[in-house]
Amino acid sequence: MTRRRALFTLVCVLGAAACSSESTPSGSSGTSNGSSSSGGDASASSSSGATSSSSGSTSSSSGSTFDAAASDGVPATPTELNAWLQTKAYQAWPKEGAPHPSTGPHGNVRTYLSPKLDASMQAKAAEHPLGSVAVKEFYSGQTLSGWAVSIKTEAQSNGGKGWYWYEVFDTTPTATPIQGQGLSGCFGCHSDGRDYVKIPYPLQ
Ligand code: HEC
Protein backbone atom coordinates (compact mmCIF):
# COMPACT_ATOMS: atom_id res chain seq x y z
CA MET A 1 0.00 0.00 0.00
CA THR A 2 2.86 2.33 0.84
CA ARG A 3 4.47 1.73 -2.50
CA ARG A 4 1.20 2.28 -4.29
CA ARG A 5 0.70 5.59 -2.49
CA ALA A 6 4.22 6.74 -3.27
CA LEU A 7 3.73 5.93 -6.92
CA PHE A 8 0.45 7.78 -6.96
CA THR A 9 2.05 10.84 -5.42
CA LEU A 10 4.79 10.77 -8.02
CA VAL A 11 2.26 10.59 -10.81
CA CYS A 12 0.39 13.51 -9.27
CA VAL A 13 3.56 15.56 -9.07
CA LEU A 14 4.26 14.93 -12.73
CA GLY A 15 0.93 16.23 -13.87
CA ALA A 16 -2.27 17.07 -12.06
CA ALA A 17 -4.32 15.73 -14.95
CA ALA A 18 -3.10 12.29 -13.92
CA CYS A 19 -4.32 12.92 -10.37
CA SER A 20 -7.89 12.43 -11.37
CA SER A 21 -8.89 8.80 -11.38
CA GLU A 22 -8.79 8.98 -15.15
CA SER A 23 -5.46 7.45 -16.09
CA THR A 24 -5.54 7.32 -19.87
CA PRO A 25 -2.85 9.67 -21.12
CA SER A 26 -4.18 11.65 -24.02
CA GLY A 27 -1.84 12.56 -26.79
CA SER A 28 -3.07 16.11 -27.02
CA SER A 29 -1.45 17.24 -23.76
CA GLY A 30 2.03 15.98 -24.56
CA THR A 31 3.79 19.12 -23.40
CA SER A 32 3.66 18.07 -19.76
CA ASN A 33 6.61 15.69 -20.16
CA GLY A 34 9.02 18.38 -21.13
CA SER A 35 7.84 21.05 -18.74
CA SER A 36 7.74 18.97 -15.58
CA SER A 37 11.39 17.94 -15.62
CA SER A 38 12.57 20.73 -13.29
CA GLY A 39 12.30 18.55 -10.18
CA GLY A 40 12.05 21.21 -7.46
CA ASP A 41 8.96 22.78 -8.94
CA ALA A 42 6.58 20.01 -7.99
CA SER A 43 3.99 22.19 -6.28
CA ALA A 44 4.19 24.90 -8.90
CA SER A 45 3.66 22.45 -11.71
CA SER A 46 0.78 20.78 -9.94
CA SER A 47 -0.99 24.08 -9.46
CA SER A 48 -0.63 25.01 -13.08
CA GLY A 49 -1.81 21.53 -13.89
CA ALA A 50 -4.97 22.16 -11.92
CA THR A 51 -5.88 25.20 -13.96
CA SER A 52 -5.03 23.50 -17.22
CA SER A 53 -7.15 20.49 -16.33
CA SER A 54 -10.02 21.97 -18.25
CA SER A 55 -8.51 20.10 -21.17
CA GLY A 56 -9.51 16.95 -19.30
CA SER A 57 -12.95 18.16 -18.34
CA THR A 58 -14.61 15.46 -20.37
CA SER A 59 -13.67 13.03 -17.60
CA SER A 60 -16.66 13.09 -15.29
CA SER A 61 -14.86 11.66 -12.26
CA SER A 62 -12.25 14.40 -11.98
CA GLY A 63 -12.25 16.26 -8.66
CA SER A 64 -11.32 19.43 -10.50
CA THR A 65 -14.81 19.74 -11.94
CA PHE A 66 -16.23 19.88 -8.41
CA ASP A 67 -17.87 23.20 -7.57
CA ALA A 68 -16.60 24.40 -4.18
CA ALA A 69 -19.89 26.22 -3.64
CA ALA A 70 -21.27 22.80 -2.63
CA SER A 71 -18.73 22.41 0.17
CA ASP A 72 -18.98 25.75 1.96
CA GLY A 73 -16.18 27.04 -0.26
CA VAL A 74 -13.67 24.25 0.43
CA PRO A 75 -11.78 23.57 -2.83
CA ALA A 76 -10.98 20.00 -3.92
CA THR A 77 -7.70 20.86 -5.67
CA PRO A 78 -4.39 20.65 -3.78
CA THR A 79 -2.96 24.16 -4.03
CA GLU A 80 -6.25 25.89 -3.34
CA LEU A 81 -7.12 23.49 -0.53
CA ASN A 82 -3.77 24.11 1.17
CA ALA A 83 -4.33 27.86 0.98
CA TRP A 84 -7.76 27.39 2.54
CA LEU A 85 -6.33 25.19 5.33
CA GLN A 86 -3.79 27.90 6.13
CA THR A 87 -6.69 30.25 6.99
CA LYS A 88 -7.92 27.74 9.62
CA ALA A 89 -11.51 28.71 8.74
CA TYR A 90 -12.53 25.12 9.60
CA GLN A 91 -11.79 25.80 13.28
CA ALA A 92 -15.23 27.44 13.54
CA TRP A 93 -16.89 24.09 12.67
CA PRO A 94 -18.20 21.43 15.06
CA LYS A 95 -15.07 19.80 16.48
CA GLU A 96 -13.49 17.47 18.97
CA GLY A 97 -12.63 19.04 22.30
CA ALA A 98 -8.89 18.47 22.13
CA PRO A 99 -6.15 16.63 20.22
CA HIS A 100 -6.02 12.94 21.14
CA PRO A 101 -4.12 9.87 19.90
CA SER A 102 -5.55 8.45 16.66
CA THR A 103 -7.08 4.99 16.81
CA GLY A 104 -5.72 4.54 13.29
CA PRO A 105 -2.46 5.57 11.63
CA HIS A 106 -2.89 9.30 12.08
CA GLY A 107 -0.78 10.18 15.20
CA ASN A 108 -2.19 12.89 17.52
CA VAL A 109 -5.32 14.31 15.94
CA ARG A 110 -8.27 16.67 16.24
CA THR A 111 -11.18 16.39 13.82
CA TYR A 112 -13.57 19.07 12.51
CA LEU A 113 -16.74 18.37 10.52
CA SER A 114 -18.36 20.83 8.14
CA PRO A 115 -21.85 21.83 9.35
CA LYS A 116 -23.61 19.70 6.72
CA LEU A 117 -21.47 16.66 7.53
CA ASP A 118 -22.02 17.16 11.25
CA ALA A 119 -25.79 17.26 10.69
CA SER A 120 -25.59 14.15 8.53
CA MET A 121 -23.58 12.27 11.17
CA GLN A 122 -26.10 13.33 13.78
CA ALA A 123 -28.92 12.00 11.58
CA LYS A 124 -26.94 8.75 11.11
CA ALA A 125 -27.38 9.12 7.34
CA ALA A 126 -26.23 6.24 5.16
CA GLU A 127 -25.03 8.68 2.46
CA HIS A 128 -23.64 12.05 3.46
CA PRO A 129 -24.56 14.98 1.19
CA LEU A 130 -22.47 16.21 -1.70
CA GLY A 131 -19.94 18.75 -0.40
CA SER A 132 -19.48 17.15 3.04
CA VAL A 133 -16.01 17.94 4.42
CA ALA A 134 -13.93 16.50 7.27
CA VAL A 135 -10.65 18.11 8.34
CA LYS A 136 -8.28 16.40 10.69
CA GLU A 137 -5.38 18.26 12.25
CA PHE A 138 -2.19 16.38 13.08
CA TYR A 139 -0.26 17.44 16.16
CA SER A 140 3.30 16.89 17.20
CA GLY A 141 3.09 17.65 20.92
CA GLN A 142 1.12 20.93 21.06
CA THR A 143 2.22 21.99 17.58
CA LEU A 144 0.06 21.68 14.47
CA SER A 145 2.03 19.51 12.05
CA GLY A 146 -0.29 18.80 9.12
CA TRP A 147 -3.79 17.96 7.91
CA ALA A 148 -5.91 15.16 6.49
CA VAL A 149 -9.03 16.14 4.56
CA SER A 150 -11.88 14.27 2.91
CA ILE A 151 -14.41 16.03 0.65
CA LYS A 152 -17.45 14.33 -0.86
CA THR A 153 -17.25 15.57 -4.43
CA GLU A 154 -19.99 13.37 -5.87
CA ALA A 155 -23.57 12.69 -4.79
CA GLN A 156 -22.80 8.99 -4.27
CA SER A 157 -19.73 7.69 -2.45
CA ASN A 158 -19.25 5.10 -5.19
CA GLY A 159 -17.06 2.79 -3.12
CA GLY A 160 -14.88 5.69 -1.93
CA LYS A 161 -14.25 7.11 -5.41
CA GLY A 162 -16.82 9.84 -4.83
CA TRP A 163 -14.52 11.44 -2.23
CA TYR A 164 -11.45 13.61 -2.71
CA TRP A 165 -8.66 12.71 -0.25
CA TYR A 166 -5.79 14.92 0.91
CA GLU A 167 -3.04 14.46 3.48
CA VAL A 168 0.07 16.54 4.23
CA PHE A 169 2.56 16.16 7.07
CA ASP A 170 3.87 19.71 7.04
CA THR A 171 2.16 23.09 7.49
CA THR A 172 4.31 25.02 5.02
CA PRO A 173 2.19 26.07 2.02
CA THR A 174 4.57 24.48 -0.50
CA ALA A 175 4.63 21.02 1.13
CA THR A 176 3.75 18.20 -1.26
CA PRO A 177 0.57 16.36 -0.22
CA ILE A 178 -0.70 12.86 -0.87
CA GLN A 179 -3.94 13.70 -2.63
CA GLY A 180 -6.41 12.77 -5.30
CA GLN A 181 -9.96 11.79 -6.15
CA GLY A 182 -10.83 8.31 -4.89
CA LEU A 183 -7.46 7.28 -3.39
CA SER A 184 -7.75 3.58 -2.53
CA GLY A 185 -4.97 3.89 0.06
CA CYS A 186 -7.35 6.12 2.03
CA PHE A 187 -10.85 4.83 1.36
CA GLY A 188 -9.87 1.17 1.84
CA CYS A 189 -9.49 1.76 5.56
CA HIS A 190 -12.36 4.27 5.74
CA SER A 191 -14.88 1.90 4.13
CA ASP A 192 -16.07 0.61 7.51
CA GLY A 193 -16.95 4.13 8.70
CA ARG A 194 -20.34 5.84 8.33
CA ASP A 195 -20.22 6.57 4.61
CA TYR A 196 -16.39 6.70 4.81
CA VAL A 197 -16.29 8.87 7.94
CA LYS A 198 -14.62 7.05 10.83
CA ILE A 199 -14.51 9.49 13.71
CA PRO A 200 -16.61 8.39 16.72
CA TYR A 201 -19.79 10.46 16.91
CA PRO A 202 -20.97 12.49 18.85
CA LEU A 203 -17.59 14.24 18.70
CA GLN A 204 -15.64 14.04 21.97
C1 HEC B 1 -5.32 2.14 8.40
C2 HEC B 1 -6.56 2.91 8.43
C3 HEC B 1 -6.59 4.31 7.83
C4 HEC B 1 -6.04 4.76 6.65
C5 HEC B 1 -5.19 4.00 5.65
C6 HEC B 1 -6.43 6.15 6.51
N7 HEC B 1 -7.21 6.52 7.58
FE8 HEC B 1 -8.07 8.35 7.87
N9 HEC B 1 -8.85 7.71 9.65
C10 HEC B 1 -8.64 6.48 10.22
C11 HEC B 1 -9.30 6.44 11.54
C12 HEC B 1 -9.30 5.26 12.51
C13 HEC B 1 -9.90 7.70 11.72
C14 HEC B 1 -10.73 8.17 12.94
C15 HEC B 1 -10.00 9.19 13.74
C16 HEC B 1 -8.71 8.65 14.29
O17 HEC B 1 -8.72 7.86 15.23
O18 HEC B 1 -7.66 9.04 13.74
C19 HEC B 1 -9.59 8.47 10.50
C20 HEC B 1 -10.04 9.76 10.30
C21 HEC B 1 -9.78 10.53 9.17
C22 HEC B 1 -10.35 11.83 8.90
C23 HEC B 1 -11.36 12.57 9.77
C24 HEC B 1 -12.76 12.22 9.27
C25 HEC B 1 -13.12 10.78 9.55
O26 HEC B 1 -13.27 10.00 8.58
O27 HEC B 1 -13.22 10.40 10.73
C28 HEC B 1 -9.84 12.24 7.71
C29 HEC B 1 -10.15 13.55 7.01
C30 HEC B 1 -8.97 11.19 7.22
N31 HEC B 1 -8.96 10.15 8.14
C32 HEC B 1 -8.27 11.25 6.02
C33 HEC B 1 -7.49 10.20 5.53
C34 HEC B 1 -6.74 10.30 4.27
C35 HEC B 1 -6.71 11.51 3.37
C36 HEC B 1 -6.11 9.09 4.12
C37 HEC B 1 -5.19 8.67 2.98
C38 HEC B 1 -4.07 9.55 2.68
C39 HEC B 1 -6.48 8.26 5.26
N40 HEC B 1 -7.31 8.96 6.09
C41 HEC B 1 -6.07 6.95 5.44
C42 HEC B 1 -7.99 5.42 9.65
C43 HEC B 1 -7.32 5.43 8.43
Report the run of H or E that residue 116 belongs to, with start and end: helix 115-122
Ligand 1 cavity residues, CB under 6 Å? 102-106, 109, 111, 134, 136, 148-150, 165-167, 178, 183, 185-186, 189-190, 193, 197-199
pLDDT at position 50: 38
Q: What is the pLDDT of residue 43?
A: 37
The pLDDT value recorded for residue 64 is 57
* pLDDT tens for each residue of 147-177: 999 999 999 999 999 999 999 999 999 999 9
Q: Which atom of ligand 1 is nearest to the CA of 199?
A: 27
Atom 19 in ligand 1: residue holding the nearest Cα: 198
Helices of type H across the chain: 2-14, 31-35, 42-52, 78-87, 115-122, 184-190
**Phi (first) and psi of residue 20, to 5 degrees:** -75, 165
Compute how many other C-beta atoms are within 10 angstroms of the C-beta atom of residue 172: 10
Domains of the chain as residue ranges with CATH = 2-190 (3.50.70)
Can you give the pLDDT at residue 183? 98
Q: Is 0.85 topped by the overall pTM? A: no
Task: State how far the Cα of 8 lies from the Cα of 181, in Å rounded to an integer.
Answer: 11
Q: Tell the residue nearest (CA) to atom 14 of ligand 1.
A: 199
Average confidence score pLDDT of the chain: 78
Give residue 83 CA to ligand 1 midpoint distance, Å: 21
How do residues 20-75 score in pLDDT, each as one tens digit? 333 333 333 333 333 333 333 333 333 333 333 333 333 334 445 799 999 999 99
Q: Is the pLDDT of residue 16 over 50?
A: no
